[in-house]
């Protein structure tokens, strides 16, 4: 069984390397397409959002407290509050709701 683990690691490393190395070797000129450039610009933000949002909802015992913490953080961020204030306030909202809901 342990021999298969090494095969998995080697395959994963090769795939990861190819995904990063192929664009560097195949695309040598600057990308001129405005659509493609804007698409590639927003891919990291969309990927991070898709990975983070479900984790926010499932990190608490109730998805409602996670949603309330997310909405609190979103509103405070929209109002340009500081990162520490936003994160502490969102955590406090989740904490209080977890105490009330459970």
Run of H or E residues at 8 = helix 2-26
pTM above 0.75, yes or no: no
- Structural domain span for residue 43: 2-101
Residue 1 confidence (pLDDT): 55
Rounded CA-CA distance 15/21 in Å is 10
pLDDT in tens, 65-74: 999 999 999 9
pLDDT in tens, 4-31: 889 999 999 999 999 888 887 888 888 8
Instruction: Name every residue whose Cβ is closer than 8 Å to that of residue 58 and which is 6 or more positions away in sequence.
Output: 66
Residue 82 confidence (pLDDT): 95
Tell me what the pLDDT averaged over the chain comes to.
90
Residue 88 confidence (pLDDT): 97
How many domains does the chain divide into?
1
């Amino acid at each position: 069984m342990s021999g298969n683990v090494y095969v998995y690691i080697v395959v994963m490393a090769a795939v990861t390397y190819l995904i990063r190395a192929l664009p560097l070797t195949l695309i040598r000129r600057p990308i001129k397409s405005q659509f493609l450039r804007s698409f590639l610009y927003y891919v990291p933000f969309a990927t991070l959002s898709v990975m983070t949002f479900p984790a926010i909802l499932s990190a608490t015992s109730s998805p409602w407290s996670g949603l309330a913490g997310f909405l609190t953080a979103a509103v405070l961020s929209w109002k340009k509050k500081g990162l520490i204030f936003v994160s502490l306030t969102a955590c406090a909202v989740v904490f209080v709701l977890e105490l009330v809901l459970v």
